[in-house]
Amino acid sequence: EVTSFAVRVAPLGGTGLVLVLAEDQTEQRRVEAVRRDFVANISHELKTPVGALSLLAETISDASDDPDAVRRFTGRMQQETNRLTSVIQDLITLSRIQGAEPMANPESVDVQSVLDEAYDSVRTAAEAKEIEVVISGAEDLTALGDESLLATAVRNLMANAVAYSPERTRVSVSAAANEKTVEIHVADQGIGISPQDVERIFERFYRVDAARSRATGGTGLGLAIVKHIMTHHRGEVTVWSKEGSGSTFTLRLPGPQDRERPRPGENSDR
Ligand code: ADP
């Protein structure tokens, strides 16, 4: 890695001395490079479906006397539109949540409802692959947070578990609490993730296999969204994985017992 310094030289009036300031810009450059990559990735992810839509529209107008072709191409247009909608939706969620302050007034959230809500949106995909989704341990559990954001986080993990698992496997979603924290685990028997990739999967648009991700409707933003949702909740997301045998993602959240305890540097005027 190259280290770069910005050097400023300022004469100290009348003394004949100069002041030399050296500022380490390595981090600044890294942040700038990450931002540039992100913008390039967004452009690519938006332009690809728009380009495909434009081409398909042209093809349809040329084939307007062939009803079969028209049906086929409008189906493809629908798919590209769905892809565009997912990317835009994920970008909106990400921009709302990234950089947000930790939540000031979290609500009590029923964990079972969060898991059920998340499961509803992956049910069709799971059934299509005959993947059994087993939910356990969440009865009467309460976490502190925002129900809709938590459901988004669990939905993203469940959608990945289904997408990156072979047919007729099992996805286990379980919840557990101790005095201070509530944990939600999403475990699959899927393809797993190598140690090098595990380091990077929470980065925006990072995919181990881009073609595979796109084929299952992935945007490459799901785990970045999960990470930011957890930070906003003063929680964390961790992963255990073994290539070829499966992955377990864990969300760790403050539980209701944690509400009474003021945190350092925080006023507790409630
Ligand atoms: P995507 O939309 O591509 O799924 P994510 O941010 O949700 O984007 O995940 C990033 C990448 O991490 C995925 O493309 C995939 O390579 C890998 N990944 C995520 N979850 C799993 C999982 N349960 N099993 C195997 N690989 C996974």
Q: Which of 86, 97, 188, 201 to mutate to test the pocket of ligand 1 (most atoms within 8 A of CB)?
A: 201
- Predicted TM-score (pTM) of this structure: 0.86
pLDDT tens digit sequence for 211-261? 888 888 899 999 999 999 999 999 999 999 999 999 999 999 988 765 554
The residue whose CA has the least distance to atom 3 of ligand 1 is 220
157 alpha carbon to ligand 1 midpoint, in Å? 9
| Residue spans of alpha helices (H) in the chain | 26-62, 67-97, 111-128, 147-163, 195-198, 210-215, 222-232
Ligand 1 atom with the shortest distance to the CA of 214: 3
**Paired tokens of 195:** 């140690």
106 alpha carbon to ligand 1 midpoint, in Å? 28
Ligand 1 atom with the shortest distance to the CA of 223: 6
The residue whose CA has the least distance to atom 12 of ligand 1 is 201
218 alpha carbon to ligand 1 midpoint, in Å? 8
153 alpha carbon to ligand 1 midpoint, in Å? 13
58 alpha carbon to ligand 1 midpoint, in Å? 34
| C-alpha pair distances (Å), 170 with each of 113, 236, 248 | 21, 24, 12
19 alpha carbon to ligand 1 midpoint, in Å? 51
Exposed, middle or buried by CB within 10 Å (0-12, 13-18, 19+), for 43? exposed
Q: Which of 160, 203, 230, 239 to mutate to test the pocket of ligand 1 (most atoms within 8 A of CB)?
A: 160
ipTM: 0.99
Distance CA 172, CA 135 (A): 6
Phi, psi of 18, rounded to the nearest 5 degrees:
-120, 145
Tokens 């059934």, located at residue: 127
Q: Which are the contacts of 224, defined by CB distance < 8 A and separation ≥ 6? A: 94, 98, 202, 203, 204, 205
Per-residue pLDDT of the chain (270 residues; tens, 9 = 90+): 667 788 888 888 888 898 888 888 888 888 899 899 999 999 999 999 999 999 999 999 999 899 999 999 999 999 999 999 999 999 999 999 998 999 999 999 999 999 999 999 999 999 999 999 999 999 999 999 999 999 999 999 999 999 999 999 999 999 999 888 999 999 999 999 999 999 999 999 999 998 888 888 899 999 999 999 999 999 999 999 999 999 999 999 988 765 554 555 555 444
| C-alpha pair distances (Å), 191 with each of 187, 202, 216, 243 | 12, 17, 14, 6
